[in-house]
Copies of this chain bind each other. A is one copy, B any other.
Amino acid sequence: MPHSAFTFDDLQRYAPSVAEPDDFDEFWRATLTEAAAVPVLVDVRPEPTDLRLLDSWDVTFAGFGGDPVRAWYTRPAGVREPLPALVEYAGYGRGRGLPHERLTWPVAGYAHLLMDNRGQAGQHGAGDTPDPHGAPGGPSPATWGILDPRTYHYRRLITDAVRAVEAVRALPGVEGDRVSVVGNSQGGGLALAVAGLVDDLSAVLTTAPFLCDMRRAVALTDLAPYGEIARYLAVHREAEEAVWRTLSYVDAVSFARRATAPAQFGVGQRDTVCPPRTAFAAYNHYGAANGRPVPPERQMHVYPFNGHEGGEAVHVRRQLCWLDSVLQTVRASVM
């Protein structure tokens, strides 16, 4: 059913107060400090692809807890000069797949790092990184260790995502001051999380983001991954407060409030997986608590007849144009 009582006007005004624990910043500072204690690059080796215009490498970097996290690094073949870089995060239930699956950004001329999602691959896409931790919680990745923010899967995944930015900066041929992040769905949520944790990104591109306004989202949809959390609560009725507390440490609205980089959002107005209002919660709060006098640039594209797939190729084109213009501004301001 496409219709909702929530209109486009409602979306534009939707800026809910999302619970934020007092030690939110300290929690993440400590987590990232611990992760930063080991060198980020573990292994980098060339990967053949039969694509003449691109070169690819199989990268392993140290993520949360020093766990080895895999990624594909791809860039225009034979180009030696430093390039602006883009770190991409994959959707829920997917991993990095094969190196020839996501060509848009390297073909556009960027150095591109596609991070594997630990433990998730095998439902919708392939991957190579396990999540070697275990803690009380439900059987789906979105519920692994959900009873405590310290053991929650997304603490590890968000840390990996931050480390991926550090990894790409450690790779040869990257302009370290022109690194951006991009993702769709869970990848879009991770991009927002990184935007709130890394303060010198050049740009953030997020579409149909997961992880936003999560307590509300769990109430709005039955579909995975939010629905997996609701399912867990339907079984573990006593766990509700613990779950809300855990989620308050990973809500992308709280990360978005702290963000400083220009951001471009895309949303399908009929999205029933990640309800559009929850993306607007992040958008409307974006940069509001970043401590800077001027708010970051942000733009939102809404696709009224689309669901979770959003704007697809139309939006990709808009991403290419927008990022190009943002980076030229960056370059100008850096020079």
| Chain A residues with a Cβ under 8 A of chain B | 1-3, 5, 49-54, 76, 93, 97-98, 100-101, 103-104, 106-109, 119-126, 128, 130-141, 143, 145, 219-222, 230-238, 240, 303-307, 311, 313-314, 316-317, 320-321, 324
- Give A233 to B103 CA distance when docked, in angstroms: 24
- Give A119 to B145 CA distance when docked, in angstroms: 10
Copies of this polypeptide in the complex: 6
- Give A51 to B107 CA distance when docked, in angstroms: 6
- Give A320 to B99 CA distance when docked, in angstroms: 13
- Give A92 to B263 CA distance when docked, in angstroms: 36
Q: Which chain B positions have C-beta within 8 A of A126?
A: 235-236, 313
Query: Which one of B1, B52, B131 contacts A221 once the chains associate, using CB atoms below 8 Å?
Result: B1
- Which of A126, A139, A237 neighbours the largest number of chain B CB atoms within 10 Å of its CB? A139
Asked if B124 and A235 make an inter-chain contact with CB atoms under 8 angstroms apart, the answer reads: yes
**Contacts A50-B108, A130-B137, A219-B3 hold; do A317 and B100 have CB atoms under 8 A apart?**
yes
Q: Which chain B positions have C-beta within 8 A of A236?
A: 121-122, 126
Asked if B230 and A107 make an inter-chain contact with CB atoms under 8 angstroms apart, the answer reads: no
Query: Which one of B122, B221, B307 contacts A2 once the chains associate, using CB atoms below 8 Å?
Result: B221
**Contacts A97-B313, A313-B100 hold; do A237 and B305 have CB atoms under 8 A apart?**
yes
Query: Which one of B101, B145, B235, B314 contacts A238 once the chains associate, using CB atoms below 8 Å?
Result: B314
Min CB distance A323 to B, Å, is 9
Asked if B2 and A222 make an inter-chain contact with CB atoms under 8 angstroms apart, the answer reads: yes
Q: Which chain B positions have C-beta within 8 A of A2?
A: 219-222, 230
Min CB distance A238 to B, Å, is 7
Query: Which one of B133, B234, B235, B238 contacts A134 once the chains associate, using CB atoms below 8 Å?
Result: B133
Query: Which one of B76, B121, B230, B303 contacts A53 once the chains associate, using CB atoms below 8 Å?
Result: B76
Asked if B98 and A305 make an inter-chain contact with CB atoms under 8 angstroms apart, the answer reads: no
Q: Which residue of B lies closest to A2 (CB)?
A: B222
Q: Which chain B positions have C-beta within 8 A of A134?
A: 119, 130-134
Q: Which residue of B lies closest to A52 (CB)?
A: B109
